[in-house]
Chains A and B, each alone.
Chain A
């Protein structure tokens, strides 16, 4: 099938609003995006009703959060939480979501949690999240603002500061979530030296092997984004996740069909994906 004619016919209508400064957006990308939004709306409506929502597969790293908090509580030693090395970005939001869950637990059990920040804006939001958890538990005065520490915006200055805190405070647990770079292994190794139970999750694939080697539990790449739905078991959030899964399944089917067609000399799917 020749898609050139269709592409030429669509161009005048779409060129004015399917363009961005940085790259060209294909018509198929728009259709795919619309499909994704439709799935989101479908599952959103489903979550409002009584129908059972899809069940999520087990993620051991998130199950271990309670174990690590329990260990810190029993030992009377703090948890050190690292919410990533980037400012406001998707991994940082995911890390802050997990931090909210951990904060609920530490507020309930009167466990100390030290949070180390690289960016002041993340500190402002992070400390508010933890403060809210203490307020919800009716323990407003138990919140310690001193345990929310801005260390340095410099990558290794920050890493050095976290290592010092891990050593001096003899942390029982370390949680490393968010976007990480070369400092990931430094933090994980020092955590290992002080005998902390370590749970890590980050989105890049470069640092993942080191976290696997040095941490007790590791969330792999996208598992970090599942945390909010998994931990809260909130119907709406699970619905959003199911919408993503359906979209991913469509993409997998497209790739498999595309590869088979390429084998037989047809680039039909490739042309469909670049339809503009």
Chain B
């Protein structure tokens, strides 16, 4: 996207104001922790509106403008007019009498995505993962039995197999002992999610510290 050169003096003069607006919005959003209120609502609508405007501008500048200026006008790729026209048909959606026309680009889009997903290529990551799961249960390192790596490999392969068994849904494929395995699979999945939850909480606390840093350092200049 082509940038606009703003003089440094203006940027420096505006920075404290933009930081103050940022802090006001931060407090507005946090005010919802108490309850929904007009202050939060104003911040929410300002954010949603500015995000929509940003999307519009970046889509025009990064996709539409280069497509017309560069690809079509300079490089002569006039075929790009086809997806543009197809995309324009979507604007028939709000017109009740003609909104059936908007289904053509939608059908094309959905069909393209479905076809793209169902290719032979999807099998390769599957096999790569399967190969990485086939680990020896007894590992010898430097001529000695490596207990920890062996346990690690057994747990890893065992949990992968258990989880795969859990995601078999047909009762004629998984029954009897399979139901018992399902219970263990759920326990394994829950342990994994527990670890993920702890990791995620740590990340969120890090974000919170970042916000406090913004208020105390960037705005109040306390340190």
A-side interface residues toward B, CB under 8 Å? 18, 20, 22-26, 28-30, 32-33, 54-57, 59, 88-90, 93, 120-121, 124-125, 128, 151-154, 156-158, 160-161, 163-164, 167-168, 185, 190, 205-206, 208-210, 212-213, 220-223, 226, 230, 238, 241-242, 245-246, 248-249, 251-252, 254-256, 258-263, 265, 267, 269-270, 273-274
Contacts and interface: CB of A to CB of B under 8 A. Distances in A.
A260 B153 CA distance: 11
Given A20-B119, A163-B44, A273-B131, 13 more contacts: A54-B172, A57-B169, A57-B170, A57-B171, A125-B106, A157-B50, A205-B196, A212-B197, A252-B161, A252-B164, A258-B131, A258-B134, A270-B131
A128 B103 contact: yes
A223 B106 CA distance: 26
Nearest to A254: B130
Contact of A23 (B54, B121, B160): B121
A242 B130 contact: no
A255 B157 contact: yes
B193 A57 contact: no
A154 B120 CA distance: 33
Consensus secondary structure, chain B interface? helix
Nearest to B123: A29
A213 B197 contact: yes
Which of B103, B130, B134 has most A Cβ within 10 Å? B134
Nearest to A28: B127
Interface string B152-170: 0100010011001101111
A242 B170 contact: yes
B84 interface: no
Nearest to B196: A209
B90 interface: yes
Given A255-B157, A273-B131, A90 B136 contact: no
Contacts of A251: 126, 130, 164
Nearest to B54: A154
B121 A259 contact: no
B174 interface: yes
28 contacts: A20-B119, A25-B124, A29-B123, A29-B126, A32-B127, A57-B170, A124-B90, A152-B48, A153-B52, A161-B44, A163-B32, A168-B36, A190-B32, A212-B197, A213-B197, A248-B168, A249-B168, A252-B164, A255-B134, A258-B131, A258-B134, A259-B135, A259-B136, A260-B137, A262-B134, A270-B134, A273-B130, A274-B131
B124 A121 contact: no
Which of B102, B126, B165, B170 has most A Cβ within 10 Å? B170
B194 A209 contact: yes
A241 B160 CA distance: 20
A243 to B, nearest CB: 9
CB-CB nearest 8 A-B residue pairs: A157-B51, A154-B51, A258-B134, A209-B197, A167-B36, A29-B123, A54-B170, A209-B193
A29 B172 CA distance: 26
Given A208-B196, A222-B167, A241-B170, A164 B135 contact: no
B94 to A, nearest CB: 8
B110 interface: yes
B81 interface: no
Interface in B48-68: 48, 50-52, 54-55
A56 B193 CA distance: 25
B109 interface: yes
Interface string B88-113: 00100100000000110010011001
Contact of A33 (B106, B123, B135, B171): B123
A23 B164 contact: no
